[in-house]
Amino acid sequence: MQARRIAFWPLLVLAALLAGCASLPAPLQQIPSTALSDTGATRLGRATAPAAAAHPGKTGAYALPDGREAFAARYLLAQTAERSLDLQYYIWRSDTSGGLMAQAVLEAADRGVRVRLLLDDVNTGGFDTTLATLEAHPNIEVRLFNPFASRNWRAAAYLTDFSRLNRRMHNKSFTADNQVSVVGGRNIGDEYMGIEVPVEFTDLDVVLAGAVVPEISASFDAYWNSPSAYPAASLLPAASPDEIAAVRSAWDGLRASPLAAAYLATVHEMQLVRNAAAGTVPLEWVPARLVHDDPAKVLHPPERKETHMLPHLEAALGVPQRELILVSPYFVPGKQGAQALVDMAARGVNVTVLTNSLAATDVGPVYAGYVKYRSELLRAGVRLYELKRGSLPMGEQDKPRERHGIGGSTGGSSGASLHAKTFGVDRSRVYVGSLNLDPRSIRLNTEMGVVLESPALAGRLARVVEAEVPANAYELRLAPNGRVVWIERTGAGEITHNRTPETGVMRLLGVGLMMLLPIEWLL
């Protein structure tokens, strides 16, 4: 064993040297392009025009709390698009939903649709052949945001280029014909789209039409044409005809598989799909505002706040007068954020936070960062809830459950983890997007989302918190001795947990160790 450890270090050093020797191509190879503006005659344009004309300056919104509906909305847009698809994602898995969606995008390109696919490069490892296949299509262009120069030594690249590679594009948008967009917290992958996985993410997206869509397209253009977006063709070897044929064949096989066939059959039976076919999707027309980071954020020190979206988000949401609801899977408010919530509670605002429990989270270090602020917030009167593993808030309990790429039967997932990022103010305004309330989202990565002046959606969020969250999450309180306890509501009454529920000793020790490390700025 000792000999193996000794042999490992020269390999690691060699990998770091090889990664360090790789360099990115000159960004001058980039050819600028912008969203198509003359798309009013498309099917999507004709379908949304009457309602948009009846609500000038407003945006039609339809919430997608269900993962299968979220897939259906994107799938339908890919199938319906006639002129363009502009797609921006942090993660695109090579699993069932990722493969089905990629095939739908490829088929759109086969019909003559112009496709622009912008992916953050941190999660594309192993997908270079698939990306090169898409890039080879005359109607598809792929760009990679803040890419790795070395395609084979990614982990080692962090040792030589950490400051750059630590900055990622977390944005998520899917826009068809510059007429309809889907924006929210979901990436493309089975755990986001309601397919059987060990842990399914509970999330929220919105379908948008009308005034805000050109703003989303303009944001996409800014990222697409930014110096950090590299053409995939400048980074990847071209796909051979045999590789292209193999990828297409694999997607054909995937769509014919029992799991994909059952999933698509379920999706096609959803009310959203039937409404879309009948042209009766119930959009709520409201004032809306897009908020997003400047793509230059990843090129500047985190202190350069002029590139940050947070001040714009705060302005759009306004100052809470009565109620603030924060739903964030990764919640590390920091000293300033915690103090702001304490001050808000002190002036009588009802502040409620829903985040993941340690058992439900997929990122333990973030939970360690959050632990530092719990007692302070509870003493101030802030209500804290931690989602139980396997629970489904956000309005999903009453829906039948069916069962983290591009590359049996359905049933329920064995667990659930909160992934939605949504904030409600005074039951009148609501944010839906990609921003977590943690230092990484606020200072390091780029994010986006929409603020809707929607009493209906904001009220729905408040009702979920009141009626559903208490049964599906632990409520944290302070015991007389000042220690945090977890209150679990059951049919037999309340159960008080004096230690972190559903968590083993080793994981608790790991959280304790993480709390000692100066890593909050990375969380």
Q: What are phi and psi of 85, to 5 degrees?
A: -130, 125
- Residue 327 to residues 70, 189, 260, 338, 459, Cα–Cα distance (Å): 19, 21, 31, 15, 14
* 413's tokens: 């997932």
Task: Name the catalytic one among 58, 170, 292, 308.
Answer: 170
For range 478-487, the mean pLDDT:
96
* Burial 95-110, CB ≥16 within 10 A → b, else e: bbbbbbbbbbbbebbe
Task: Name the catalytic one among 172, 292, 308, 388.
Answer: 172
pLDDT > 60? residue 31: yes
- Distance CA(354)–CA(437), nearest Å, equals 11
For tokens 């983890």, what's the residue?
417
Task: Name the catalytic one among 120, 293, 426, 438.
Answer: 426
For range 20-37, the mean pLDDT:
79
Task: Name the catalytic one among 66, 95, 421, 438.
Answer: 421
Of 70-74, 315-319, 467-471, where does mean pLDDT reach its minimum? 467-471
Task: Name the catalytic one among 66, 86, 120, 177.
Answer: 177
pLDDT > 60? residue 412: no
- Distance CA(224)–CA(55), nearest Å, equals 30
Q: Tell me the pLDDT band of 511, cut-offs 50, 70 and 90.
A: confident
Judge whether 421 counts as a catalytic residue. yes
Judge whether 110 counts as a catalytic residue. no
Letter for the amino acid at 220? F
Judge whether 300 counts as a catalytic residue. no
* 333: three-class secondary structure by DSSP: coil
For range 43-70, the mean pLDDT:
96
Query: What does the pLDDT read at residue 505?
Result: 85
Among 380, 384, 360, smallest CA distance to 371 is for: 384
- Terminal C-alpha separation, the chain: 34
Judge whether 55 counts as a catalytic residue. no
Query: What does the pLDDT read at residue 463?
Result: 94
Q: What are phi and psi of 256, to 5 degrees?
A: -85, -5
Query: What does the pLDDT read at residue 407?
Result: 35
Query: What does the pLDDT read at residue 394?
Result: 54
Sign of CA dihedral 450, 451, 456, 462: positive
Residue ranges with strand state E in 5-73: 59-64
Q: Tell me the pLDDT band of 228, cut-offs 50, 70 and 90.
A: very high
Judge whether 58 counts as a catalytic residue. no
pLDDT > 60? residue 403: no
Query: What does the pLDDT read at residue 21?
Result: 57
Q: What percent of the chain has pLDDT over 90?
A: 78
Judge whether 419 counts as a catalytic residue. yes
Query: What does the pLDDT read at residue 404?
Result: 27
pLDDT > 80? residue 210: yes
Of 10-19, 137-146, 430-439, where does mean pLDDT reach its minimum? 10-19
Facing residues of 145 across strands? 120, 229
More confident residue, 232 or 362: 232
Q: For residue range 123-150, list pLDDT tens digits in order.
A: 998 899 999 999 999 999 999 999 998 8
